[in-house]
Amino acid sequence: MQLINRRPCRMTKSLAYPVIISADNVDMPNQQQYTSLEINKIRLLKFMTRFGIGGTEKQVVNLSKRLDHNVFDLRFGALQRLGILANELEGSGFSIEEYPINHLYGYKTLRRQWQLSRALKRDRIQIMHSYNFYSNVFSVPAARLARTPCVIASVRDLGVNLTRAQLKVHSWACSMADIVLVNANAIRDWMIAQGIPERKLRVIYNGVDSKKFAATGDGSGFRRELHIPAQAPVITMLSRMEANKGAEYFLRAAPEIRKRCPDAHFVVVGDAFVFGKNADVELDTFQLPKLVQRAKELGIGDCIHFIGERSDVPEILAATTVSVLPSDSEGLSNTLLESMAAGAVVVATNVGGTPELISNGREGLLVPPRDSRAIVDAVGSILDDPSMMRRLRAEGKKRVATSFTFDEMTRQTEALYLELMESRHKYKSRQQEAA
């Protein structure tokens, strides 16, 4: 056992608010009927909790780099300027303004919210887009106080880590936004059940860079690093090691898979973190050692590798035969998208937005949550049937390449921003006419 640590949208200028000309005309080059006019950039602030290597953070960074910067003047706010992705954003020329707090209540937090509200006014921000619980609860009220024209709150999970009180506060904050943007229909339905009006909800799926994962190679370097034979099946779990991610069921399945395939190796990628009542997050120094000890108890210490957080995910997935995601709850998993793009066959629990990505038996295999026996049977059937493996691999790669691209995610997000600006402009025009 080892433990190792665009498409640009065409617009014209009307007052201070750009207006979409026609979505049908976006793809048409050389449209001489539209004159290129100088426009005011849309001032856009994205507000984050922090910038660690998480699914939301990676999606935001990739989207930010692909937005049309001839149209959008983008900057960032955050509760904590922490994480390697903060350095990546600042290295790309984006500014990040920090609003550190210890709790989502109290005088200090109110003072920070007032500072954010003043900054939104000062910079004349036209769209404020925040992501997930802490950022939404902190920044949406501040944006409303600043009378920011367009406010978007993103929700990208089913709230399994939130208390009942936090869920109520989050719903209250989201109800103040113009749009609540989610990344799966399952989350949209859940938000409706939480009391958010359906008219406020929009779904834009995550994207993945299929070419990046397809061009990585065969993963031989990663296999050599862990001393895994070239022909041995590699069964990987890539996730944060939280309780709801199902690592225990992955470990329970491993000995039975090993009986069916004695040369199989298992790789666990990701660290465990502690999320407190405030916005702080720290590495959990107890959870991962517990999993290591559990693997020893199950008798798989010689064939399992705990490698912690890694930046070479494409290389790892290139070496992976089957990627297992045994979560109790998911929004729309980046791990699944990346695994499918890399050509790893996917076994995942039938929860959250996962069925929107995978049809059972077509792009991968779906299993019930908290069922290690189902994981054993699914992985075993793939390893026993090379033709099934090839078919699932091909269909998975096709699925993400056609329906879950960064280009499509960017196009839809830009269209949403422009739609909101146009609606705001029409609303102001009606007010002026009425006056």
Structure tokens at 45: 């602030």
130 beta partners = 47, 153
Mean pLDDT score, 61-70: 94
Judged against a pLDDT cut of 50, whether residue 7 lies above it is answered with no
Cβ atoms of residues 429 and 16 within 8 Å:
no
pLDDT band with cut points at 50, 70 and 90 for residue 235: very high
Predicted confidence (pLDDT) per residue in 261-282, tens digit: 999 999 999 876 555 444 455 5
Q: Which residue has the higher pLDDT, 196 or 433?
A: 196
d(CA 247, CA 88): 30
Cβ atoms of residues 126 and 138 within 8 Å:
no
**What is the pLDDT, as a whole number, of residue 433?**
60
Residue carrying structure tokens 């909800």: 201
**What is the pLDDT, as a whole number, of residue 278?**
45
Greatest Cα pair distance in the chain = 79
Residue carrying structure tokens 């995978």: 358
pLDDT band with cut points at 50, 70 and 90 for residue 284: low
**What is the pLDDT, as a whole number, of residue 430?**
61
Amino acid at 192: I
Predicted confidence (pLDDT) per residue in 357-397, tens digit: 999 999 999 999 999 999 999 999 999 999 999 999 999 99
Cβ atoms of residues 394 and 387 within 8 Å:
no
Q: Kindly report which listed range (72-81, 113-122, 125-134, 209-218) carries the lowest average pLDDT score.
A: 209-218
Structure tokens at 350: 């039938």
Cβ atoms of residues 338 and 310 within 8 Å:
no
CATH number of 40-204+405-434: 3.40.50.2000
**What is the pLDDT, as a whole number, of residue 423?**
87
Mean pLDDT score, 348-357: 97
pLDDT band with cut points at 50, 70 and 90 for residue 247: very high
Predicted confidence (pLDDT) per residue in 18-36, tens digit: 333 333 333 333 333 333 3
d(CA 290, CA 251): 12
Q: Are strands 11-14 and 17-20 parallel, antiparallel or unpaired?
A: antiparallel
**What is the pLDDT, as a whole number, of residue 33?**
33
**In the chain, what percentage of residues exceed pLDDT 70?**
85
Cβ atoms of residues 209 and 404 within 8 Å:
no
Q: What are the backbone dihedrals phi and psi of residue 80, each rounded to the nearest 5 degrees, phi first?
A: -140, 130
Which CATH number is 210-403's, of 3.40.50.970, 3.40.50.300, 3.40.50.2000, 1.20.1250.20? Answer: 3.40.50.2000
Cβ atoms of residues 228 and 265 within 8 Å:
yes
d(CA 279, CA 83): 14
**What is the pLDDT, as a whole number, of residue 211?**
86
Cα atoms in the Cβ-side hemisphere of radius 13 Å centred on 222: 25
Cβ atoms of residues 38 and 294 within 8 Å:
no
**What is the pLDDT, as a whole number, of residue 214?**
80
Judged against a pLDDT cut of 70, whether residue 110 lies above it is answered with yes
Residue carrying structure tokens 């936090």: 166
CA distance to 269, 316, 373, per residue, from 261 (Å): 21, 20, 15
Dihedral Cα 225, 226, 228, 230, nearest 10 deg: -20
pTM: 0.85
**What is the pLDDT, as a whole number, of residue 283?**
54
Predicted confidence (pLDDT) per residue in 154-203, tens digit: 999 999 989 999 999 999 999 999 999 999 999 999 999 999 999 999 99
Judged against a pLDDT cut of 70, whether residue 427 lies above it is answered with no
Question: 131: which residues sit within 8 A by CB, 6+ positions away?
Answer: 46, 47, 48, 49, 56, 60, 154, 156
Q: Kindly report which listed range (13-17, 93-97, 142-146, 204-208) carries the lowest average pLDDT score.
A: 13-17
**In the chain, what percentage of residues exceed pLDDT 90?**
72
Residue carrying structure tokens 């014209």: 12
Q: So where are the chain's domains?
A: 40-204+405-434, 210-403
DSSP, res 230: T
d(CA 359, CA 341): 16
d(CA 396, CA 359): 10
Q: What are the backbone dihedrals phi and psi of residue 162, each rounded to the nearest 5 degrees, phi first?
A: -100, 145
Whose CA is closest to 255, among 225, 235, 232, 271? 235
d(CA 198, CA 72): 28
Q: Is 286 exposed, middle or buried (0-12, 13-18, 19+ CB in 10 A)?
A: exposed
Mean pLDDT score, 117-129: 97
Whose CA is closest to 316, among 342, 291, 295, 293? 342
Structure tokens at 316: 């790892």
**What is the pLDDT, as a whole number, of residue 83?**
79
Q: Which residue has the higher pLDDT, 103 or 348?
A: 348
Q: What is the mean pLDDT of the chain?
A: 87
Q: Provide the H-helix boundaries in 92-184.
A: 107-122, 132-145, 164-175
Q: Do domains 40-204+405-434 and 210-403 have the same CATH topology?
A: yes
Q: Which residue has the higher pLDDT, 332 or 13?
A: 332
User: Can you say how many angstroms the Cα of residue 91 is from the centroid of all Cα atoms in its chain?
Assistant: 21
